[in-house]
Amino acid sequence: MALTEQEILAGLGKIINEITGIPAAEVSPEKSFVDDLDIDSLSMVEIAVAAQDEFGVEIPDDQLKHLKTVKDVINFIQA
Amino acid sequence: MSKDRVRVVVTGLGATTPLGGDVASTWSALLDGRSGIRTLTGDWVDSVPVKFAGLAAVDPNEVLPKPEARRLDRAEQFALIAAREAWRDAGSPEVEPERLGVVVGSGIGGITTILNAYDTFKEKGWTRLSPFTVPMLMPNGAAGWISIELGARAGAHAVASACATGAEAVGYAIEMIRSGRADVVVAGGTEAAIHPLNIASFAASRAMSTRNDEPERASRPFDRGRDGFVLGEGSGVIVLESEEHARARGARIYAVAGGVGYSADAHHITLPEQSGAGVMAAMRDALEDASLTGDDIRHVNAHATSTPAGDVLETIAISKVIGSHPLVTATKSMTGHLLGGAGGVESVFTIKALAHRIIPPTINLDDLDDGIEVEIVRDSPRPLPEGQLAAVNNSFGFGGHNVAVAFTTV
């Protein structure tokens, strides 16, 4: 059964908090990983690895580089 | 003290060990004669013949923020914690980045990371590996992280000489300052090797105690009933500084790092050479390098790991090079053997002994083995006299590495 946007957002918030220390509450859909959350490329790889464990969806490197915002990742996981 | 060159002093101490999460708690436990060795409880314990070890008293994951901890191997976690304490203890010196160095090594490196990453790779594939797998497993990772943290640009080095690593790092740091490459160097050793494969491997080399019914009594250097070393984990790091730099900033000086001696047995990959020639050469060179005589040395923190092969040999070497007068102790009786971390924490202990003029005891020494002609500090601490005096820290490693570092009172 497909996860809702809220469920994915909650999971991503937890993952991003564990990897970067950013409070989960600050992880909202419109936030840009680079510009708003100051997350570097290796941290994005860590997030993608953790997201695969959490949601069972692999995010290949050539896709990952196009995912600029939290909403982009949610959409990718839902697709 | 006539050699015309830079004097190197110690201005900061840091440690995290099986006895405590910092220098103060570790030192207090040492003086109390407490054992840091405990029974292991992992589900893998049944698969190995040794069921105890000296786990770190404070789990680094409770000290470090999670985002930081998850990018570091446990050995790197220990080193960073010890380095931060040492740096704070030194008063967070103002030093030009190009004049600040790091020398922190490990005997084995990030072996737990390697093994866990291989499991992940086999079970889930390469895409599931952390992008930090390589910096976590590389043995120079701790040196690199500490240099980043402190902005140390004079060079970040990681020596590797098994159980002599921490002492060799201190020696390298002394030489780095003397040669003019740096004014301040953060140096020491770290290890996190309490993993079933390591225990099984050391047991396979017949080097470990199997006293499973009495873990706290298992590490018993110099005792007739000793049956091998006890694995510990943790890190010891010190801040070394040119005396000129330390005096100029009004730093508290614990001791002078007077000199270092190195040798290689060139004999056997794990067993000590029976004449003790290499061990004696290292101590002799340390004395020579520090312009000291045997009479100046009042204390030796022995390598003494509680193996049948090594302990008595070391005491014979001490009595031949230094004499029978120094008060000798084996703090591994309480901490266990921190492998690459040993020379780091035992440098801290040797320096503390000089600074406080008190020597921690060797515990579990019930029945002194034959052939030991130096005085072992046993059961309770022993004071050191007033006045100018010196001490030696010995560290030896698989591979035949021998390192002796001489420290003197200020």
What phi and psi, each to the nearest 5 degrees, are found at residue B407? -120, 150
The more confident residue out of B309 and B114 is B114
pLDDT of B79 above 80: yes
Q: What CATH number does the domain containing B22 carry? A: 3.40.47.10
CA distance B328 to B372: 11
Statement to judge: residues B169 and B64 lie in one domain: yes
Position B1 in a domain: no
Position B3 in a domain: no
Mean pLDDT of all residues in B285-298: 97
Domain boundary (B225, B248, B271) is at B248
Q: Are B222 and B214 in contact (CB under 8 A)?
A: no
User: Is residue B123 within 8 angstroms of chain A, CB to CB?
Assistant: no
Given phi > 0 = left and psi -120 to 50 = alpha, else beta, which region is B347?
alpha
Q: Are B14 and B168 in contact (CB under 8 A)?
A: no
The answer for A 37-66 residues in CB contact with B (under 8 A) is: 42, 45-46, 49, 52-53, 58
Q: What would the CATH number be for the domain defined by A5-78?
A: 1.10.1200.10
Statement to judge: residues B198 and B303 lie in one domain: no
Statement to judge: residues B242 and B302 lie in one domain: no
Q: Are B385 and B295 in contact (CB under 8 A)?
A: no
Interchain proximity A49–B127, CB inside 8 Å:
yes
User: Is residue B125 within 8 angstroms of chain A, CB to CB?
Assistant: no
User: Residue written as tokens 């040669």?
Assistant: B179
Mean pLDDT of all residues in B22-34: 98
Structurally, chain B folds into a number of domains equal to 2
pLDDT of B179 above 70: yes
Annotated domain spans of chain A: 5-78
Q: What's the start-to-end Cα distance of chain B, in Å?
A: 12
Cβ contacts (< 8 Å) between A42 and chain B: which residues? 131-132
Q: What is the mean pLDDT of chain B?
A: 96
Instruction: Provide the ipTM.
Output: 0.86
Statement to judge: residues B287 and B212 lie in one domain: no
What pLDDT is recorded for position A1?
59
B306 is catalytic: no
Token pair listed for B151: 């902005």
Statement to judge: residues B132 and B214 lie in one domain: yes
User: Residue written as tokens 């031949």?
Assistant: B320
The mean pLDDT values, 10 residues at a time, for chain A of 79 residues are 88 95 95 94 93 92 94 94
Cβ contacts (< 8 Å) between A52 and chain B: which residues? 127-128
Measured torsion, CA atoms of residues B369, B356, B390, B306, in degrees rounded to the nearest 10: 20
Q: Quick one: angle between helices B165-178 and B342-356, nearest 10?
A: 70
User: Is residue A18 within 8 angstroms of chain B, CB to CB?
Assistant: yes
Cβ contacts (< 8 Å) between A21 and chain B: which residues? 65-68
Domain boundary (B190, B218, B248) is at B248
Q: For the ranges A40-54, B2-16, B260-274, B346-360, which has the lowest average pLDDT?
A: B2-16
Statement to judge: residues B300 and B391 lie in one domain: yes
Position B360 in a domain: yes
Minimal CA separation from A7 to chain B, in Å: 22
pLDDT of B266 above 60: yes
Q: What 3-state DSSP class applies to B303?
A: coil
What pLDDT is recorded for position A79?
86
pTM (whole model) above 0.90 = yes
What pLDDT is recorded for position B2?
45
Per-residue pLDDT tens over the stretch B33-60:
999 999 999 899 999 999 999 999 999 9
Per-residue pLDDT tens over the stretch B325-383:
999 999 999 999 999 999 999 999 999 999 999 999 999 999 999 999 999 999 899 99
pLDDT of B150 above 60: yes
pLDDT of B119 above 70: yes
Mean pLDDT of all residues in B198-224: 96
What pLDDT is recorded for position B1?
45
Q: What range defines the domain where residue B199 resides?
A: 9-248
Nearest chain A residue to B128 by CA distance is: A49
Mean pLDDT of all residues in B254-275: 95
